[in-house]
Amino acid sequence: MGQRRLGQHRLRQLRLGQHRLGQHRLGQHRLGQHRLGQHRLGQHRVGQHCVGQHRLGLVIDRDDLPHTEHAHELIGADHGDVPISVILVHSAPGAGPALHRHPYVEVFVVESGEATFRLGDERIVVKGGQIVIGQADIPHGFTNTGKGELRLVAIHCAPNFKTEWLSTPDPVWLSSPRVKPAQP
């Protein structure tokens, strides 16, 4: 009976008009300082490539993003008030970034392949369809330990990359891609 009442109470809390995300009601949730529908995604910097600029955002071709041998990078700050940055990893077996850390949370969405992640002192084998959440300031890295290409999306909870390398990094994993799209 106690569980039933708790369930009913929870249902009342989750009704669309009453549920809160942080301090804002669902319909008023803010990204940065702007309400959804009023954010400035459309105000991207001059020289940034995009397929289309729409009333509520941008469409960007992955191949127009700065990239290295193993990844494409979307830096949120380069596209207005986007509060995250994203690395689209496509690495060969044996490849992966050296041990490093960030002052913010990083979420890894493993799309396909297999990787061995190091989070602090732990080693974890992850496969396509799994998600890894690395807490702020925890040393981490990963290596493609599968037989094929590793594809994952690394979501950095910051508008710019802030990385402290704890061992010598392979230059192709530095967040300063050496291949940038041509300027118009």
Domains of the chain: 2-31 (no CATH), 68-173 (2.60.120.10)
C-beta separation of 156 from 102 below 8 A: yes
| Dihedral (Cα; 67, 68, 70, 73), 10-degree rounding | -30
Helix, strand, or coil here: 85?
strand
Q: How would you classify the pairing of strands 71-74 and 85-91?
A: antiparallel
- pLDDT tens-digit readout, 132-184: 999 999 999 999 999 999 999 999 999 999 999 998 877 777 765 544 444 44
Helix, strand, or coil here: 160?
coil
Region at 163 (left for phi over 0; alpha for psi -120 to 50; beta for the rest): beta
22 vs 158, more confident: 158
- pLDDT tens-digit readout, 88-116: 999 999 999 999 999 999 999 999 999 99
C-beta separation of 142 from 97 below 8 A: yes
Judge residue 151's burial from the number of C-beta atoms within 10 Å of its C-beta, 0-12 exposed, 13-18 middle, 19 or more buried. Answer: middle
Could you tell me the pLDDT band of residue 44, with boundaries at 50, 70 and 90? very low
